[in-house]
Amino acid sequence: MRVVIAEDAAMMREGLVRLLTDRGFEVSAAVADADALRAAITETAPDVAIVDIRMPPTHTDEGLRAAIDIRRDHPGVGVLVFSQYVETRYATRLLADQPAGVGYLLKERVADVADFVDALTRVASGGTALDPEVVGHLMRAGQRTAGLTPRETEVLSLMAEGRSNAGIAAALFITPGVVEKHVAAIFGKLGLPSSDTDNRRVLAVLRHISG
């Protein structure tokens, strides 16, 4: 699997290169700014890009805006945003345009390398990988969860993370049958058709979050 890394912090960038290379990934480029990222995507045609948000020259949202451009111009390239920050405005646009093949993880909350590699692989394959805290920020920013109970909001966040009913049950220490009832209630309140396909469930929730 071919990966492009865009990270302006040299130590983090080189660490990601070593981590992924050791696990069999081919890092086709490792760059420090958004313009170099766009060029690397065009030149190397990777399967997935790991993108920090704040990069030169302004260190605000260059990476996330580049991620939106990549998904528009190279829809076959997955994008995993990997940052310390949650930027809701551009994150909402990124998810609204093409939520398949997109991930958003927070650096300080990734405690297991295997989980990070799994998320990267999932995004490269057209799946979704979202940190629950990111989902929470998006839901609060969009104020789209009115009418949901606190438990239903927890279930919705785990659905958007990509978990199955069994995975949600394990995380919340409830039975799969109770999860099914919560999922049905969520879809009913949000006016979304239920589906047995987890990926479709995630995409429906993401579309709802993004308005």
Task: Dump pLDDT digits (tens) for 14-68.
Answer: 999 999 999 999 999 999 999 999 999 999 999 999 999 999 888 888 999 999 9
**How many Å apart are CA 72 and CA 26, to the nearest integer?**
24
pLDDT for 2 beyond 80: yes
**How many Å apart are CA 141 and CA 19, to the nearest integer?**
34
Task: Dump pLDDT digits (tens) for 117-148.
Answer: 999 999 999 988 888 778 767 766 655 555 77
Query: Up-side HSE of residue 4: CA atoms within 13 Å toward CB?
Result: 29
Task: Dump pLDDT digits (tens) for 186-205.
Answer: 877 776 665 555 555 665 56
Task: Dump pLDDT digits (tens) for 165-189.
Answer: 999 999 999 999 999 999 888 877 7
pLDDT for 88 beyond 80: no
pLDDT for 159 beyond 90: no
Q: What is the mean pLDDT of residues 144-165?
A: 77
Q: With cut-offs at 50, 70 and 90, classify the pLDDT of residue 114.
A: very high
Percent of the chain with pLDDT over 90: 52
Percent of the chain with pLDDT over 70: 82
Say which range, 62-66, 84-88, 207-211, has the weakest mean pLDDT. 207-211
The larger pLDDT score, comparing residue 99 to residue 129, is at: 129
| Domains of the chain, each with CATH number or no CATH | 2-130 (3.40.50.2300), 137-209 (1.10.10.10)
